[in-house]
Structure 1
C-alpha cells in the first residue's frame, strides 16, 4: 500500500503477461448483465437458468473471498445459520452470493432488503435478513462514496462516539463506515492534508501541471478490489499497466531478450528452491533463516549467474523483490515472506487517472477531520477513551488507531495503560521497510508513448535498487510525468542524499539510455524526492514479515484492547492484504464492523441492567426529569452533563394535561356527611431524542407550545413516542445520562468532546 504502498503484489516480477488495452472497470457490468440480466428474477427462472445463475454467483462470491461451499469464520461467529452443514447452510450461501452479486452489479446504488426480495422467494425472507445484515455490517455491500450511498447516512448519531486517528485509506474507510452506522465520528490527522501514505502531488509550473503519486500508486489486482469499486462509483478511468517493460544495461544499451528470459527463469527457480527448502525443514526451522541467505546459497550451489552481466541482471530481480516487500532480502523471513500470496487479488494492475488522491478527496467528503493534530497520548479504560493531540483532549466511547507500523515501532504515541506485551512484541517482530521515489515532470514525452514501465540495471550490487524501475505516468497524470523508484539499501541511503545529487544521478541514467539513440533528455520542469523514512508520521513505507515474525503478528496487531475501547487498522493489521492500499481500506471497514459489534454488545448489557417492568423504567425517567437541564414551556430537556457539544444527544419530554386529583363534593342534607367522589387525571408524557443545538433553536420559536410542537415536527422531523417506544438506543441514552449524573465517568452513549 503506500506509504508508499506496495505497488505490486506480484512477487516474482512486475512484467506480467496481459493485453495492452486500457482496463475499464465498467466491463464487469457488461459481463454480469450478459449472464444475469439487469434485474435477476429467481421467481421466474427455469431450473437450468437458476442453476447457471447460482454457479456464476458462487464464482463471483469466490473472487470476493467467500468459499464456495462453506461459511466464513465471521459468519459462523455471527450465527447466520442455526446448524452448520446441511440444507439451511446451503440455502444461506446461495442467498448470500445472490445479494453480493446484486450489489456488485450496480455498486453506485444503495441496495435495500426489499429490492432483494423482488428476486427471492418469500420463504427465504428470514435468511435474506440475516445475510443482508451480515454483509452490510461487515462492509461487503453498500460501502463507498456514491451519492446514493452517502444519502443513507443517518442525520443524527445514535450509536455513540468514535475518534479515528489518521486520515489515510484505513482511517477514512473506517470513518465513513461508522458514520453510515450512526456513530458520531471525528478524525484526527497530524498532517495538513488527508491521505497519509497515499499522496498525489500536483507538480509543474506555467500552465504545465501533472499529477504524481508520491506514495501508493498502483491498484494491485482489480478483480474484487474495493478501490476499483470506488473508481466505478466515481466514474474514474483506470489504465492497465501494460506488459511491455524493457530493461537497459548500466551503459544504457537494451538488454537482449535471450539473456533477459534466461535470468528471469533462474530467478524464479531460485525462489522455487527456497520454497522447497522451507517445506523440507518445516516452518519452525525456516523461521530463523532469511530469504536472502537462502537465495544466495542456492545461487552458489547451482553455480548460476556467475558472470558480471548475469549477476547484474539477477540483482535487478532481487531489487524488484525488495521493492515488493519494502524490505532487505537478508531481513525477509524465508518461512513467511510470501504468506499472503494465496489471497492476492486477481486481474490487472492499474493506474488511476489523475492519481489516487481523487479517491482520498471523495472519501473526505462530509467527514469531520481535524488537521495538524499529532496524537501523543491515548488513554483508555472501561468507561471510554481520551486522546491527547497537541495539548488538546478529545474524549469518546472508542478510538481506532490507524497510524503506520513505523510510528508504533518508534513508540511515538504513549498508551495508558501500556499496550499488552503480546501486541508490543508483534510490533517489534514485524518489519517495516522503505521505498522512495523521484517524481519529474518534463516539457515533453521522450520515452515513448507505448511504455508504462522500463527498468535499469545497476553495476553496483549495493545500489541495485537505485532507479531500478521507472513509471511512465503520461497516460494518467495529464502531463509528461515520470517516476523513478528507489528500493532496498539504496532507499535507505537516498534519505540522506542531497536531492540535487539524486536528480543528477537519475538524469544521468535517463540520458545514458536515450542519448545514444539520438533522443535528447531535457531538464525537468520540477522534481520531487520523497523521504518516507524521515517522515515522523510514517517512519517508512510498508510492512513485511521479517525473520522471527509470521503472519500471526498481523492478526495480533489487529486485536482490540481495553475491553473493546481501542481498535487498530492499517495495512500492517491485514494478514491477507498487507503492504497494499486495498488492505488498508479493508482493514478500516473491518474495524468499523468491530466497533459496531462492541457498541451493540454494550447496549445489550445496558438494556439488561434496566428493569424490564415499564413502571420501573418510567420511574427512571420521572426521576431524571425532576431536575431538567432546560425547560421551554411544556418542553423539558435532559442532557449528558459531561459535554457542551451542541451535537450531543439528549432526551426531550413534552407533558400534556395536569397531574392532580379532581374531586366532586355534594351536600346531601343538613346533619349528614359529605360524600366525596374523586377521579385521578394524570399527565401524558411523550419523548424524543434531540441534540443540544436543536433544543437551543426551540427557544427562538415564538408563540404557543403548539407552535413549538409544529416546528419540531416540520423543521426537525422529530417523532414523539411513549417511554416504551424509546427502543434500545433511547434506553441506552437514558441509562447514560443517569449514570453521568451519578458519576463523572464516561459511558457508551457519550459524544466526542474537546
Structure 2
C-alpha cells in the first residue's frame, strides 16, 4: 500500500448512494488562485517546511470523512444500474446503458481523494483535459464516467508505482460502451505524466532504442529538465540536454562532506519534500526504495543569551503572529485590488504597531524570528512580497508529512539523470527560434532542433544573460520582471560527533538586531539522514544578501559562537567542525538566487505567463517559476517538466497531422469551415473587423476563445483614436494581407487567446490598426488561416458548438411547452 493510500480509510459506498447527491466540498479543491480573499495559511516552524497550512484547512481538504457522496444521479427518476456488466440481451424496455453511472469499485470517494492529491478537481475536468477533448461534450453522464475511470486508473498506478501499468487490466472492468472513455483517460494520464513515470526498470525499458521523432534541445539539467527529457525520450524524441555546470540537479545539490573518518551528504539547495500525498518526487523515492524521514514537529527556540524561550512566551507570540496574518488577510479583503500594490511587510509592521502584541525585548526578538521564518518560506523580503497574492499557491499545498530523503536529494537527481544525453559545461548564451525550428548557441557551438525547452531559473531570465532571437514577447518580459526571485543561504558543518542530540530535527535562535533576524535563525539536524554528524544553519531575508559578501571564516565563527552559547551552559562541549561549506546562491551565475515569490505588483498569472510557449510552438519554458500551483518547490519544478513534455509532444503531433492533410479541401475541411463560419454568425464579442467566440460555461477569464480578423471588403468605420495614434499603428500587416485581395473579396485569419485578452483587445483605442499592433506586439500572438488553428482550437469549437446546441434545444423545448 502506498503512502497516499495509507491515509485513506475504507468508506463503503453503494450505487444507491449517488441518488440525489450533489457535488460539493467543504474545502474547494480547485479554488481561484487569484482570489485576494483567501485566508492565509499559518506559517509554522515546526515542520521545517517552506509552507504549512493551518490545521483546519488541512482537515477540511484531506479528510475523506468530510466528503459527501461524490457523483450525482443526473436523472432523479432513474436509479443507477448496480451491475457494471449489464445483460447483453436487454429487453426492449431496458434503459439506455449509456445513461448509467458505471461502478468500478465500492470506494469512489477514496479514489477521488487520491485524484485530489494529484491535482485533479473531484467533480470537473482540468483545463488540460478540456483542451485534450477527453470527452465529446463536457458535463453529464459521459464526464462523470470519465472521471470515475480516470480516478480508478490513477489509484491503480499509485498502488504499485514500480511496474508499468498497461491499459489491459481495465478493459474487462469497464463496460464496453465506456471503452472510448477508458482509452481517452488512459492516454491523457500517460501523455501528461500522471502515470508510468519515474526511474524503475519497467519504465526505463519503455524508452525506444531508436528515436522516431525530431531533435529537442533542453537547456538545463535541473529537475524540470531531467523530468522533461525522460518523458520526451519515452515519446520517441531525440533529446540533448545542455547544462552549464559540471553536474546535474541545478538548485538541488547534495555535496559529500568528509574528513577524520566522518562523512555526510549535505543538501545545499532544495532539501525538504514538502508533503508526500501526491508528490511525484515521493513516488520516485519509493521507486528507489528510499524510506523518507518525517521532519519532527518539535523545534525549541533559544534566546540571544543561549537560554531557551519559555513555552508560554513562545505560544503567546506565535498566536499573536498568526493573528496578524489573519488581520492582513482581512485587510486585503477590504482593500480589494489596491492591495496588489501593497507589501505584506508594510501590513504586518502596521498591525504590530497598532496592536502592540510584542512588548518585552524577548517578545520582540521572538516576533522578529517569525518574520525571518516567513522570509525563509518565500525566499524574499517581506517588504517585497505582495499583500494580495504572496500566498496564492497555499490552496494547492501537498498534503502529508514534510520529509528529508536519507542520503540527500542528490539520489533523486542521480537516478533521473542516469543514461540521459547531458552535455556539461555548456553555457547557453543565445536561443534563436522561429517557425522552422530552433538554434541554441553555447560558446562556439550551435545545437539545432525542432523544438527547445528552456528551464533556466528566473534569476537567469531576469539577468538577460541569454539572448532570445527574436526577443521574447513583451507580455512574457513583463511577467519575468514582475515576479520576485529571492535568496536563501546555508552553512553546512560536519562535526566529529553529534553534540546537539538526535531527538530534534530543527531548533531556532533569536537575534537582538532586527536587521539580522534571519542570520542563522534556524538549524537543521541531518544526523539521522545524512550518514554523519551534520548540522546546517539557514540564512534568510536581508541577512542572506549580506551573507554573500561575508568571509566564510567569519560566518563559521559566528555560528560556533551561537552554538556554544546554547550548549556549553548545559555542560556540552562544542567541537570545531571537521569541514564547512557556505553557499552563495546569489552569486552563482547559473541561478542568481534561490527561488521565486509573488512580489508587489505581481500575481499568480505571471507564473502562467512564464509557462507560455513562444515561436509557434517551438520554444517552451519549465521550472519552478512556471507553475502557479507549486512555485518554489522541487516537485513544482519536476511537474513543470512533465507538463512541457506533454505540450511539446502535442505541438509536434499537431504539426505532423497538418503536413499529412492534402492541400485541396476535403469534405471534412469544408464541413469544419462551414461550422466555424456558422459560429461566427453570432459572435460573443464584435469590434471593428474583429470578432470573438467563446464558451460561456467557464467563468475563468483565462479560458480560451477564438478571435477572427477580417481583411478585405469594406472596412468598418471607427472614430477611435487620432491621427497621431494612426501614425504609430501597425498598418504594414494590413497592407500586406490586403494586397492579395480586392475590395470584393474577404480573408479571415484566426488565433487562440484568452477571454481576458479578448476583452483587453476590445478596449484598445485607435481603431483596428492599433488593435492589430497590440495583438501582435503586446500579446505576441500569430494570426493563421483556419487550418493553422490546431487541435486546441478544435476543442474550443466543440465546446462552443455543444453549448449553443444545448441552448437551442432548451429554447425549442420552451417554445413547445408554451404552445401546449
Deviations 1:182-226 (A, max 9, x none): 110000000000000000000012431110000000000111000
Match of 2:310 among 256, 259, 272: 256
2:388 aligned residue: 335
State the distance in 1 between where 2:102 and 2:136 align. Answer: 29
Q: Pairwise mapping of residues 108-123 of structure 1 onto structure 2 (< 5 A)?
A: 108-123=162-177
Note if contact 1:398-1:565 (Cα within 8 Å) is conserved in structure 2. yes
1:444 aligned residue: 497
Note if contact 1:463-1:489 (Cα within 8 Å) is conserved in structure 2. yes
2:529 aligned residue: 476
Is the aligned partner of 1:241 residue 2:272?
Answer: no
Shift of 1:11: 5.5
Distance 1:49 1:601, change over 3 A: closer
2:179 aligned residue: 125
2:201 aligned residue: 147
2:256 aligned residue: 202
2:286 aligned residue: 232
Shift of 1:77: 1.2
2:331 aligned residue: 277
Note if contact 1:11-1:324 (Cα within 8 Å) is conserved in structure 2. no
Note if contact 2:293-2:404 (Cα within 8 Å) is conserved in structure 1. yes
2:817 aligned residue: none
TM-score (norm 2): 0.69
Distance 1:247 1:10, change over 3 A: farther
Is the aligned partner of 1:596 residue 2:596?
Answer: no
Distance 1:230 1:51, change over 3 A: closer
Note if contact 1:11-1:321 (Cα within 8 Å) is conserved in structure 2. no
1:380 aligned residue: 433
Match of 2:45 among 14, 24, 27: 14
State the distance in 2 between where 1:114 and 1:463 align. Answer: 60
Match of 2:154 among 75, 97, 100: 100
Note if contact 1:466-1:485 (Cα within 8 Å) is conserved in structure 2. yes
Shift of 1:50: 5.2
Task: Provide the secondary structure at the position in 2 that maps to 1:255.
Answer: coil
Task: Provide the secondary structure at the position in 2 that maps to 1:96.
Answer: helix
Q: Pairwise mapping of residues 374-523 of structure 1 onto structure 2 (< 5 A)?
A: 374-523=427-576
Deviations 1:119-172 (A, max 9, x none): 323332211100011111111111111111001111121122110000000000
State the distance in 1 between where 2:84 and 2:224 align. Answer: 37
Is the aligned partner of 1:581 residue 2:634?
Answer: yes
Q: Which moved more, 1:240-249 or 1:117-126?
A: 117-126
Note if contact 1:220-1:350 (Cα within 8 Å) is conserved in structure 2. yes
State the distance in 2 between where 1:600 and 1:51 align. Answer: 35
**Count of residue pairs the alignment pairs up:** 581
Shift of 1:116: 2.2
Note if contact 1:466-1:490 (Cα within 8 Å) is conserved in structure 2. yes
State the distance in 1 between where 2:42 and 2:526 align. Answer: 22
Q: Pairwise mapping of residues 648-667 of structure 1 onto structure 2 (< 5 A)?
A: none
Match of 2:227 among 158, 169, 173: 173
Deviations 1:329-372 (A, max 9, x none): 00000000000001011110000010000000000112100000
Which sections of structure 1, spanning at least 5 residues, go unmatched? Answer: 1-8, 19-30, 32-40, 614-754
Deviations 1:575-614 (A, max 9, x none): 000000000000000000110011001101111147899x
Note if contact 1:170-1:585 (Cα within 8 Å) is conserved in structure 2. yes
Deviations 1:65-103 (A, max 9, x none): 111211111111111111111111111111111110111
Is the aligned partner of 1:83 residue 2:114?
Answer: no
Deviations 1:429-477 (A, max 9, x none): 1100000000001010011110100000011100000000000001110
Task: Provide the secondary structure at the position in 2 that maps to 1:127.
Answer: helix
State the distance in 1 between where 2:266 and 2:487 align. Answer: 19
Note if contact 1:10-1:324 (Cα within 8 Å) is conserved in structure 2. no
4+ long deviations beyond 6 Å: 41-44, 610-613
State the distance in 2 between where 1:253 and 1:594 align. Answer: 55
Distance 1:505 1:42, change over 3 A: farther
State the distance in 2 between where 1:193 and 1:527 align. Answer: 20
Note if contact 1:173-1:589 (Cα within 8 Å) is conserved in structure 2. yes
Note if contact 1:557-1:572 (Cα within 8 Å) is conserved in structure 2. yes
Shift of 1:49: 8.7
Note if contact 2:218-2:241 (Cα within 8 Å) is conserved in structure 1. yes
State the distance in 1 between where 2:621 and 2:41 align. Answer: 27
Task: Provide the secondary structure at the position in 2 that maps to 1:403.
Answer: coil
State the distance in 2 between where 1:506 and 1:81 align. Answer: 59
State the distance in 2 between where 1:118 and 1:176 align. Answer: 31
Distance 1:109 1:553, change over 3 A: same
Note if contact 1:375-1:389 (Cα within 8 Å) is conserved in structure 2. yes
RMSD: 2.0
State the distance in 1 between where 2:529 and 2:665 align. Answer: 62
Match of 1:161 among 207, 215, 235: 215
- Greater radius of gyration (CA): 1
1:562 aligned residue: 615
Q: Pairwise mapping of residues 698-737 of structure 1 onto structure 2 (< 5 A)?
A: none
Shift of 1:14: 2.5
Task: Provide the secondary structure at the position in 1 that maps to 2:213.
Answer: coil
Shift of 1:48: 12
State the distance in 1 between where 2:249 and 2:325 align. Answer: 35
Which sections of structure 2, spanning at least 5 residues, go unmatched? Answer: 1-39, 50-63, 65-82, 87-100, 667-820
Deviations 1:373-403 (A, max 9, x none): 0000000110000000011100000000000
State the distance in 1 between where 2:469 and 2:260 align. Answer: 51
Note if contact 2:104-2:174 (Cα within 8 Å) is conserved in structure 1. no
Distance 1:612 1:294, change over 3 A: closer
